[in-house]
Amino acid sequence: MTTVEKWINKILPQYGIDNPLIEPVHADEDDINNFSNLFKNVVLDNQLNSVAIDMTPGRKFMSSIAMACAIKYRNFVKKLFYLFLSVKKYQNTPFILIPFKDQKLLNILDVV
């Protein structure tokens, strides 16, 4: 978690997000209903802020829940990030080890 926070605080300011609020939440990824409710509640608890969600990591159902939540609450969810890899050989590689020319951070809300 420390490593993730370090990199988030270095990367997000480059995309115009200074001092991001990072609040770790433990979720049971084997219980889809629990995960969905927990995710929705975390988003709703932060509706007074501009919320950004990264849907890159995790399993497919997690990304689907993140996307649905971001679209449903688009009035305050301002960013839905997805790290696009143009070269498949880098799947499951930490992003910092992937050459910048082979990755692009997208805000999916600009696409949908």
Q: What does DSSP assign to residue 81?
A: E
pLDDT in tens, 79-103: 999 988 988 898 888 878 899 999 9
Do 103 and 86 meet the contact criterion of CB atoms below 8 Å apart? yes
| Residue 112 pLDDT exceeds 80 | no
Sign, CA dihedral 45-66-53-92, equals: positive
Residue 53 has pLDDT above 80, yes or no: yes
- Is pTM, for the whole model, over 0.75? no
33-48 mean pLDDT: 91
Does residue 69 carry a pLDDT above 90?
yes
SS (H, E, C) 20-72: CCCCCCCCCCCCHHHHHHHHHHHHHHCCCCCEEEECCCCCHHHHHHHHHHHHH
Q: Tokens 């839905």 appear where?
A: 80
Mean pLDDT, rounded, for 58-77:
90
